[in-house]
């Protein structure tokens, strides 16, 4: 089995993004699974194009995209991706669309195909705070979540994909916001891989 995991570069006023940092700490093989990692620019369409190219090049069985959701407590697994770009701030390519469909003729929304109940249970069992989130927002994380799910459904329906938001880590110096140690985020991602590796598709 092969899993493609993506993270994002820092964006906004931040110089650190735990979703990029955790990739550096993950092995290339875990639980009998090959792990491919991709760091994405926080730029609409460009990020998505990189993912589509990687899906074609690597033909993974599962795609898990990670991003930072500063302010959230614990790890959140996203249920729904919406076909809207409505950016609160500029992305790293200076784009700030409002109320624009990401893909013109695509459905309004897609659900994750990750086994989120299993993932949350396994994470909680390991002492990692994790819960289901009902909105990935309308910025670049949702853009990649939606675009990848839509691409897989149209081209490789057997590939499961979804999005996981990470909280701040203490390296970010945002002690007013909930934080999780990077070691715990690494442990969480290894657990996610174990669950996916043990899931029959």
Query: Active-site residue numbers?
Result: 78, 141, 165
User: Does 163 engage in binding with ligand PCA (CB under 6 A)?
Assistant: no
The span from the CA of 128 to the CA of 144, in Å, is 25
β-bridge mates for residue 170, sequence order: none
Segment lying near ligand PCA (by CB under 6 A), choices 108-116, 138-146, 167-175, 188-196: 138-146
User: Does 74 engage in binding with ligand PCA (CB under 6 A)?
Assistant: no
Give exposure, 120-153, as e/b (b: 16+ Cβ within 10 Å). Answer: bebbeeeebbbeebeebbbbbbbbbbbbbbbbbe
Task: List the structure tokens of 48.
Answer: 């998505």
Least Å distance, CB 32 to ligand PCA, is 29
Answer for which of 3, 4, 5, 11 binds ligand PCA (CB under 6 A) is: 11
CB atoms within 10 A of CB 185: 21
In the range 18-47, which residues lie near ligand PCA by CB under 6 A? 19, 42
Least Å distance, CB 29 to ligand PCA, is 25
Which one, 11 or 146, has the nearer CB to ligand PCA?
A: 11
Contacts of 73 (CB under 8 A, 6+ apart): 129, 167, 178
Catalog residues that contact ligand PCA under the rule CB under 6 A.
8, 11, 17, 19, 42, 67-69, 137, 139-141
């Amino acid at each position: 089995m092969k899993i493609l995991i993506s993270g994002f570069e820092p964006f906004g006023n931040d110089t650190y993004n735990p979703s990029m940092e955790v990739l550096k700490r993950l092995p290339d093989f875990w639980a009998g699974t090959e792990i491919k990692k991709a760091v994405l620019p926080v730029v609409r369409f460009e990020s998505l194009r990189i993912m589509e190219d990687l899906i074609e090049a690597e033909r993974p069985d599962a795609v898990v995209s990670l991003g930072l959701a500063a302010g959230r407590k614990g790890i959140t697994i996203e249920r729904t991706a919406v076909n809207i770009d409505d950016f609160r701030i500029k992305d790293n390519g200076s784009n700030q669309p409002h109320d624009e469909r990401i893909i013109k003729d695509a459905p309004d929304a897609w659900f994750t195909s990750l086994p989120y109940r299993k993932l949350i249970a396994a994470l909680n069992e390991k002492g990692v705070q994790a819960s289901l989130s009902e909105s990935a927002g309308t910025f670049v994380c949702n853009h990649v979540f939606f675009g990848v799910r839509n691409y897989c459904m149209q081209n490789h329906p057997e590939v499961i994909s979804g999005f996981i938001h990470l909280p701040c880590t203490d390296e970010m110096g945002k002690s007013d916001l909930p934080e999780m140690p990077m070691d715990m985020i690494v442990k969480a991602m290894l657990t996610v891989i174990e669950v996916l590796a043990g899931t029959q598709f």
